[in-house]
Structure 1
Amino acid sequence: MIDVLYFAWVRERIGLPKEQVETSATTVAELVDELVAREERYAAAFADRDALRVAVDQDLTDFSASLAGVREVAFFPPMTGG
């Protein structure tokens, strides 16, 4: 079971701040594919993966990152300065 967290417009599109996901995915990209296959709201949130950042156990990474031993995955838009 992995905790999946959503921030900013990703959370708005999915309608949840976080959820626990039972997954057979081995990478972040596979996890996203599983989520997108669930419902349209996930497809909308992940339509442009280049517009998203991902953190695995609070470390910034990319969609090819392994989920082996991971407890938390977070998705959020790029941070802007200001």
Structure 2
Amino acid sequence: DQYRSVIWTTTPAQFEDALALRDAYQEVLTDRGFGPIQTRIAPAPAPNSDARFWLAEEYHQRYLFKNPGGYECHARTGIACPTLRDK
């Protein structure tokens, strides 16, 4: 889980939208033979909670600002993510 992706939501509506969009995209990916989406979707911890968060190492922060065009996803599918209006 050290580098696992996560979508933190701050409202119930954001949470529901994120789940709906993930489910719509998963359906398309599954139809094309891809496995499950691994990104976790969860409500953001309350500011006064005991949740722990660490900033990334300095060389990871503002990475694309420091390296324009310097990121290429290693897990491309070539499949566009549908919008909620598409469903």
Q: TM-score higher than 0.5 here?
A: no
Between Structure 1 and Structure 2, the one with more strand by share is 1
Q: Look at both structures and tell me which one has the larger radius of gyration over its CA atoms.
A: 2
Structure 1 length-normalised TM = 0.24
Structure 2 length-normalised TM = 0.23
